[in-house]
Amino acid sequence: MIAAQRRNVIIETIERDGAVSIAALSDLLSTSAVTVRRDLDQLADEGRLTRTHGGAVAFSSARESSYAEKLEQALAEKTAIARAAAKHVRNGDVVALGPGTTTELLAKELSDRSGIRIVTNSLLVAEAMVSSPDVEVIVVGGILRHSIRAFVGGGTVSQLTGLRADTVFLSGNGLAADFGLSTPAFPVADTDRAMAAGAGKVTALVDHTKVGLHSSVLTVPTEEIDQLITDSGSDGSELDALRIAGVDVEVTTTSAS
């Protein structure tokens, strides 16, 4: 069975059952777990399913949400998280910002600062700083990943290897105490991981819709995350587990909370 046929079977199975596991698909397709993972990653990149730890689930709609729609999801919570994160940035800091809707909001919170330096692979973070002449912005290039409006790939990783930041702020598709910060795509994970490796402090900005979730590719393991800034809608037991693992957890509130 060729790749296109396998992937059609996967989509048909998810549409019927709502979720699939790698083990079940491996049996169904008579192929290896490695091949199934590759197919699931490709379908996730195309916006046809959502990767989970050990399998995948169906999207709530037939297409991937646009970036604008993602920004609207938990917008009040993301805004509160961004404002809290901005308070941890001091004049003179070198700050690395990964891609994501919450990091974009953080960039806007920092746009009126002076004396800080921003390192980013996100087009939208850079755009937020266009009218901020007192903020030095270093944009690392690479292959444009359209869905997240950011550069990824080997070239991006190479550029990040030589950069040092006081703090890196990263988002992701999931954060779980027994795994860490994760994403569905290897190129994104590689780039975020390189950004984290060059930072003195790693801070995850993750709203309640992602806390406790596993995506397929580990970005930063829990033991390497220094701080989590989240909102009061996050699962309390998961936050306790993160604290036990050594993560400094800061919980924000909104007017609606």
Is 10 part of a structural domain of the chain? Answer: yes
What CATH number is associated with residue 9?
Answer: 1.10.10.10
Q: Which domain holds residue 242?
A: 69-252
Q: Are residues 143 and 248 in the same domain?
A: yes
Is 63 part of a structural domain of the chain? Answer: no
CA distances for 239 relative to 77, 84, 172, 243, 251, angstroms: 16, 17, 16, 6, 9
Is 62 part of a structural domain of the chain? Answer: no
Q: Are residues 140 and 230 in the same domain?
A: yes
Q: Are residues 104 and 219 in the same domain?
A: yes
Q: Are residues 214 and 245 in the same domain?
A: yes
Low-confidence ranges of the chain (pLDDT < 70): 59-72, 255-257
Q: How many domains is the chain built from?
A: 2
Residue 73: how many other CB atoms lie within 10 Å: 12
Is 198 part of a structural domain of the chain? Answer: yes
Of 57, 86, 102, which one is at a domain's C-terminal end?
57
Q: Are residues 93 and 47 in the same domain?
A: no
Q: Are residues 134 and 36 in the same domain?
A: no
Q: Are residues 153 and 185 in the same domain?
A: yes
Q: Are residues 192 and 231 in the same domain?
A: yes
* pLDDT recorded at residue 72: 61
* Beta strand segments in the chain, E: 19-21, 50-52, 55-57, 94-97, 117-120, 136-139, 143-145, 150-152, 165-170, 174-176, 180-183, 199-205, 217-221, 227-231, 248-252
* pLDDT recorded at residue 70: 60
Length of the chain: 257
Is 134 part of a structural domain of the chain? Answer: yes
pLDDT in tens, 210-255: 999 988 789 999 999 999 999 999 999 999 999 999 999 999 998 6
Q: Are residues 37 and 152 in the same domain?
A: no
pTM above 0.85, yes or no: no
Give the 3-state secondary structure of 40-75: HHHHHHCCCCEEECCEEECCCCCCCCCHHHHHHCCH
What CATH number is associated with residue 78?
Answer: 3.40.50.1360
